[in-house]
Amino acid sequence: MVQVQHRTEPHLQIQDIRTQIHAEMEHAYLSRWLPNPVLESLQLILASAMARAAGLSASERETLISTLMLIYHGLAMHDEIETLAAREDERYRQLGVLAGDYYSSKYYRLLAEAGLVPLVGTFARAIQTINEAKAELERDPLDFTMTPARYLELHTTIHGTLLHSLRTAFVSDQLHWDDTVTHLVRASILAKEWQRAPQIPVTRTMANLSVWQRANAEERKWWKQVVAGKSEDQNRLVSLHVKYGTSSTLFQQVEDEIGLVEHAVLLAGATECLEELRTVFDQLTEVRPIASRLGEEA
C-alpha cells in the first residue's frame, strides 16, 4: 500500500472535486470544439468513498480522484474517435485524439506535485490492461460467438481496473472494497446494457449475445442476414428479445450484483459505506417507462 501522511483538512465534497476535474479538462481551444464530458458518477463516487475510507487528506483525495477521472475520460474520449471522424470537418477527429491525450497526460503532473510518484507506474499498468481489453472487444465487433460472460468480463476490466488500482494502493486491508468495486462496476455495465433497446443494425451487446447463444438454427440464419445488412425486420428483432427474456434477465443480474455488494459491506460492518452507496443502487435500478423498451417484456 502507498504510504501517505494523514492530515485533518476541511471536508471535501464531490462537487468540489467535479469543479477541480473540469478545471483540469478546460482548454481554451479544445473546449470550443468539444465540450467537457459528463463525469462518470460511479467512478467518481467509488473513488471518493475509497479515498475517504483510507483516511486521506482533502488535498490527497482531490489529487487521486482527479487523476483517476482524467485518465478514465481520456481513454473514453479515444472511444469516440470513430463518431467524431464521421463529421464533415476533419478537425473533430483530430481534436478528439488530442483531447483524450490531454486529459490522460495530466496525471503525471498531478501525482508528481502530490508526491505520489509510485502511482504513476500503477496507473500506467492499469491503462495497459484496459487497452488490451478494448483491443479484444474491437477485434471483430460483428462476431456474436463471444460469450456474454466474456463480454462482461472485458467491460469489467475496462471500467474497473483504475478503481481496483486505487483500492489496492490505499484500502487493500479493507476487504469489502474488492467485492464492492467489482460488483458495482458489473451492475453499472449490466444496467447500461439493459437500457439499450434492440435496434437495427445490430451491434454486439449483452442482450444480443444472449439471444445468439439461445437462438435456434433458423433464428441464427436470420440473424446472420441482419448482420450482413440483408434484413431490416425490427419487429422480429424485438420479438426475439421478448422470447428469450433478455431485458428481465439483465435487470435481475443488476439486482443480484447489488445484492452481493450489500452482503459484502454488511459482513464487514461498514454500514456507513452502505448508506453512501444507496444513491448508486437507486440509479442503477431506476425503471424506465415500458414504452421506451420497444415492446420488451416487463
Reported as a single tens digit per residue, the pLDDT across 129-157 is 999 999 999 888 888 999 999 999 999 99
pLDDT value of residue 96? 65
Other beta carbons within 10 Å of 5:
8
Rounded-to-integer distance, Cα 241 and Cα 295, Å: 9
pTM for this predicted structure: 0.86
**Residues sharing a CB contact under 8 Å with residue 188, sequence separation 6 or more, in sequence order:** 42, 159, 284
Q: What are 139's three cell numbers?
A: 477485434
User: Higher model confidence: residue 183 or residue 1?
Assistant: 183
Cα 161 from Cα 123, distance rounded (Å): 9
Contact status, residue 223 vs residue 144, Cβ threshold 8 Å: yes
The more confidently predicted of residues 28 and 21 is 21
**What pLDDT does residue 89 have?**
66
Confidence of residue 78 (pLDDT cuts 50, 70, 90): low
- pLDDT-derived band at 246 (thresholds 50, 70, 90) equals very high
Highest mean pLDDT among 22-26, 248-252, 273-277: 248-252
> Is pLDDT larger for residue 164 or for residue 60?
164
At position 259, the amino acid (one-letter code) is: G
Residue 174 sits at φ, ψ, to 5 deg, of: -105, 90
Identify the DSSP state of 12. P
What is the model's pLDDT at position 294?
44
Mean of the pLDDT values across residues 16-32?
77
- The per-residue pLDDT for 88 is 61
d(CA 182, CA 163): 9
8 Å CB contact between 70 and 107: yes
Q: Which helix (H) or strand (E) holds 217?
A: helix 217-227
Crossing angle between the packed helical segments 148-170 and 176-195, to the nearest 10 degrees: 140
Cα–Cα dist 292/67, whole Å: 37
pLDDT value, residue 28: 66
- Name the amino acid, one letter, at 10: P
- pLDDT above 60 (res 291): no
Residue owning grid cell 460488483: 183
Cell readout for 15 is: 462537487
> Is the pLDDT confidence value at 8 over 50?
no
pLDDT band at 181 (very low <50, low <70, confident <90, very high): very high
**The pLDDT of residue 286:** 81
Compute the mean pLDDT over every residue in the chain, rounded to the nearest whole number.
85
For 182, half-sphere exposure in the C-beta direction (CA atoms, 13 angstrom radius) is: 11
The Cα–Cα gap between 126 and 247 comes to: 32
* pLDDT tens digits for range 36-58: 778 899 999 999 999 999 999 88
Confidence of residue 169 (pLDDT cuts 50, 70, 90): very high
Mean pLDDT, to the nearest integer, of 124-129? 94
* 101: pLDDT strictly greater than 80: no
